[in-house]
């Protein structure tokens, strides 16, 4: 019988909560999953593949409850341990239309957090609305919707709802039906809707700037952001 290979265990901090997370590097098995997703050119399949890989490699948490930026961050850390903590790639400079070789140190990439981001929106003097990050499965449902569908923005809002609370009572949205939530949302004013929209727009994101000099000697910046950055 061939020997079983013991993989080293690593630890990092989950961006959304600050909790310690134990994980291992991905293996050939997980790399195949990523390659198949890469060839599909489908964002929904890509996210599902990354969810599966992170779920296989994270040893201490339920990945299904991760926010999207938690998933992206963990995929980055897993990839850094499995392959190399430095990624080399080529871009085309927009001014010279010439290829530029760049390097990205994965351990330098951080979650960018806006100072304007907050999870509480005042409804009136008595009640506050509290928001949460959509789970990975909710995010997949959103990206798989027809982006021309007028319900996309509403679906995004609903995915962020956590609870309504006053000093005396708390109502968690998970305990209510879709119809009850719809009726509640029909009665909130535009100020609350703008607060929900701002929460989503300022949500923490994986982002990094790579500085370089183009053929003309100009200082330029290339921004790495979003799920596709995992497939350099």
Q: What is the structure's pLDDT at 228?
A: 61
- The whole domain housing 225 covers 10-111+205-231
How far is 120 from 129, CA to CA, in rounded Å? 6
Cβ contact 162:132 at 8 Å: yes
Residue 158 backbone dihedrals phi, psi, to 5 degrees: -60, -35
Is the domain of 209 the same as that of 107?
Answer: yes
Residue 24 lies in a domain: yes
Instruction: Give the model's confidence band at 36: pLDDT under 50 very low, under 70 low, under 90 confident, else very high.
Output: confident
Is the domain of 171 the same as that of 218?
Answer: no
Cβ contact 90:104 at 8 Å: no
Is the domain of 187 the same as that of 214?
Answer: no
Helix (H, G, I), strand (E, B) or coil at 174: helix
Residue 155 lies in a domain: yes
Average pLDDT over residues 179-197: 91
Residue 224 lies in a domain: yes
Is the domain of 46 the same as that of 107?
Answer: yes
Which residues have CB under 8 Å from 161's CB, separation 6+?
129, 131, 132, 173, 181, 196
How far is 186 from 191, CA to CA, in rounded Å? 13
Q: How many domains does the chain have?
A: 2
Whether the pLDDT of residue 34 is over 90: the answer is no
How far is 59 from 81, CA to CA, in rounded Å? 15
Is the domain of 15 the same as that of 106?
Answer: yes
Q: What is the structure's pLDDT at 227?
A: 63
Cα atoms in the Cβ-side hemisphere of radius 13 Å centred on 231: 19
Residue 87 lies in a domain: yes
> How do residues 101-144 score in pLDDT, each as one tens digit?
998 888 888 888 888 999 999 999 999 999 998 888 888 887 77
> How do residues 72-102 score in pLDDT, each as one tens digit?
899 989 988 888 788 888 999 999 999 999 9
Is the domain of 67 the same as that of 152?
Answer: no
User: Hey, which bits of 15-127 come out as E strands?
Assistant: 20-23, 86-92, 99-105, 110-112, 120-122
Is the domain of 179 the same as that of 196?
Answer: yes
What's the whole-number average pLDDT of the chain? 87
């Amino acid at each position: 019988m061939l020997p079983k290979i013991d993989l080293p265990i690593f630890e990092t901090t989950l961006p959304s909560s600050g909790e310690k997370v134990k994980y291992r590097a991905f293996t050939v098995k997980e790399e195949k999953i990523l390659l198949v997703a890469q060839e599909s050119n489908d964002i929904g399949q890509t996210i599902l593949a990354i969810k599966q890989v992170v779920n296989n490699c994270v040893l201490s948490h339920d990945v299904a409850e991760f926010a999207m930026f938690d998933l992206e961050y963990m995929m980055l850390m897993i990839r850094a341990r499995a392959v190399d903590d430095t990624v080399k790639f080529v871009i085309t400079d927009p001014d010279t239309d010439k290829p530029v070789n760049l390097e990205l140190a994965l351990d330098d990439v951080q979650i960018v957090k806006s100072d304007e981001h907050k999870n509480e929106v005042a409804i009136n003097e008595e009640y506050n609305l509290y928001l949460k990050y959509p789970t990975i499965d909710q995010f997949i449902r959103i990206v798989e919707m027809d982006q021309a569908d007028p319900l996309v923005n509403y679906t995004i809002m609903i995915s962020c709802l956590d609870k309504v609370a006053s000093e005396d009572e708390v109502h968690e949205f998970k305990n209510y039906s879709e119809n009850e939530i719809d009726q509640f949302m029909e009665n909130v004013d535009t100020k609350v809707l703008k607060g929900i929209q701002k929460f989503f727009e300022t949500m923490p994101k994986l982002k990094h700037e790579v500085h370089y000099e183009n053929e003309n000697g100009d200082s330029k910046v290339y921004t790495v952001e979003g799920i596709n950055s995992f497939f350099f």
